[in-house]
Structure 1
Amino acid sequence: MAYRIPGVLAVWFLLSISLTVRLFAADFPYLAGTAKVEITPDYPIMLSGYASRGLQEVSETIQPLYARALAVGEPGKLPVVLMMVDNCGVPASVSDAVSRELMAKYQIPRANLAVCATHTHYAPMLSGVLQNLPARPIPPEKQQAIDRYTDEFVKALVKAASVAIESRQPARLEFAIGEVGFAANRRTAGGPTDHQLPLLTVYDANDKVRSLVVGYACHCTTIAATPAFIGDWAGYAAEYLEREYPGAVALAVIGCGGDQNPNPRGKLEFAQQYGHAIRDEVVRLMGEPMRPINGEISTQLENIPLRFAELPTLDQWREMAKESGINGFYAGKYVQRIEAGEVIPTHLDYPVQSWTFADDLTIVFLGGEVTVDYSLRLKRMAPAGKLWVAAYSNDVRTYVPSARVLKEGGYEGGGSRIWYDHPQVFAGEIEESIIGEVERQLPSLVPKVE
């Protein structure tokens, strides 16, 4: 038996469907997907983060390590993919390898991928970053484990990103900024800090929390040189948020915390305490009205040259190589390179990335261990509550001092170059170079001349 709908009713029926679809699209302007893949190795490996560990390998797990991913975008358009990875520092070689795979599989451009390391000091060393930490050559068998893990790490990140991309469903986003206070300036008592806690919440079509992204400007160095795998406060924050909102994937993104340490620190319990503090603040924010994010997403990424100051001469390297410990080891490597005919780089390629959700929200991703002056300066340039500055993104192979910190010197101002294997401190224009690139990508931040 065939059923027919009278003409007037048929028109009404079609119009109601069209209206429902438009209302649904307005309420849920994005498609979002998530994923979480464990990246804890099951074999002994050296940890990154602390030189005091030497060549020690570890295999104990206190807290599993994960790669978490959020893919979000407008229907019919390529998504952006945000990744939180429990590692001290992901180099560009790894981030770019993940990007190449996603380009081949999904045509995701490089600017649409942000790989954000938590900077936990209790995760495996990766090839190509901080390999001066032992202050001696890494034996081949230990390097083999590092190289093996790096290869597995890339594959795990590709898997997490792929699952997030392929699991996208209708979603809506909300944003708020809260505050927690456990970060302290580690260079100067009472020095500048950034205690803001930005929160991006992703809801599905049933209004269930699908994902939460939080940011905070602080080192993951809470637990001293514990020889075990641990996510530190960022890992615990994600873990506790996922318990609070079952089925959600939580990402903790580190802000400009290059000169910020947890205070107090030295115990595992402190890392858990800070994770609870972030969870509690998120719960408070979500109990209040949050701002909807509906804007069209656009992305940019540019690698800019950060120039080094004048490089040492070969004779100066040879003189430094006579010293004991890390100074002699570091300088000796440069003597060998120069004598072998290698060209010593005069600059470091540095990634500056931005995602804008129209006028609703802008996220800036900066590479390396960025000092707090950058986020404070950039947020002063932007409308209140509209800018989020993340660091430790895409390429973590350096500290990034502001002009003030560079002038003051010390570890963050240039001493760290030895561990990161750079030939010299940065030249004085570093801050203006980075801020200038952010302004180029985001001209709305540039003050208008009347």
Structure 2
Amino acid sequence: MHNVEEKVIGHFDDYIYYKNGVLLKKWFDGEVVGNRKLNHKQQLKLLKEIKSFHNLNILNLPVFDWNTYGFISEEFNKIANKYKNPIYFKTTHGDLNSKNILMNRKNEFKLIDFEWCRLNHIGFDIVCLIENLNISRKLVKKVFDLNDEIIDDFVYLKSEFDFKAYQSHYAKIEIDKTALKPVKLGLTNNNFQFNNLFLKIKNYDGFNHQNSLYFLNNLDFCIPVLYDDKEKIIQKFYIFDQWKSNFKNLKIIVSYIKELQNLNPLIEISKNQTYQKCLQWYKEQEVSHYINLHFTEKEIKQLFFNLKKLPSNVLSHNDLNINNIVSLDKNLKIIDWEYLSFNHKYFDLAYLASSLNLNKKTELKLLKFFDSNFDLNEYFKIKCLVNFYALLWSLNLKDDFDLSINLNNIKKYLAYLN
């Protein structure tokens, strides 16, 4: 790796000395791009810098090896072979992310960290820019004269290559939490930014993290999982935007629920555990005291009786609240899948409607969109149970959700229970 970096650095005047990883260079008064969003003018200047880098003629630079981490698949090799002809080769950086690009106040850019430089098709670098720095796809197509087929091929190739790399590397790595940047997200796990990656250190409560989540990578509304083991989950790090809970967006989320329910995963997924979770929470003294103050013994028994009867018919997120829906590049995504299991088909929809405290008209329109042959009595029964589940969970977590919403919904729909 250092030999490659030494070859590349020799082509830049601002590097004074480099040997065996020891580097001395002229000062560039800039900072890493980090999480900032580049405007159109800045993107153009960065692309010009990268285009100049691609045109470097570096003697004896090695060719990129798509099988660095071993065999991936026949389909992968078939697509990779399309770009192995030397006529396509340029000097590529190989690791274009926010920590490897410096920017100063004059909007001048410098590339750093050249250990992954290889002869390769520029498509690899271009996809890095699109995915890691949110550079406009339309703009890179124009600047680098690329078409959608090439970009789509490299999106696939890079995704598969990265996945294999993460499997090989992160299965063995010991993570120093003190070197990571904490990310405030959720109340259960420890979350960090790790360079251009998002790292979730798992904390178990007996009901979460029971399923491998790789199969969700096939869903466009999920953030792909790069690596998942008993200790951690690794994904790309993104800065999400707030989403607007208008009817148009709510219909999109409901369509995601339907798509999830139509999945037929080839792996075993945990069964419905709503009853077991609620029972565990209820056994806590503070929680049971609160519940006993607001419900009669008969009502509590009725709630638990119906919880125990919940089926395991379809895949369910089981925590589809407003904070687990985000916007990324104007596309809605669902995050935080640690409580995934089988459940009732109305569970996620009722959870979403309750979390947003939707008015009756909007809720019924969504229900009709979700299921044209909906059973309103059944839906109200599930909504009652969902709110009891959410109430117990909030009491357990001591979060800041307005408990009156759950209480009112439970009281309102108790009559629909068996």
Fold match (TM-score > 0.5): no
Give the TM-score normalised by the residue count of structure 2. 0.22
Q: Which has the higher contact order (CA 8 A, sep 6+)?
A: 1
Give the TM-score normalised by the residue count of structure 1. 0.21
Higher strand share: 1
Higher-Rg structure is 2
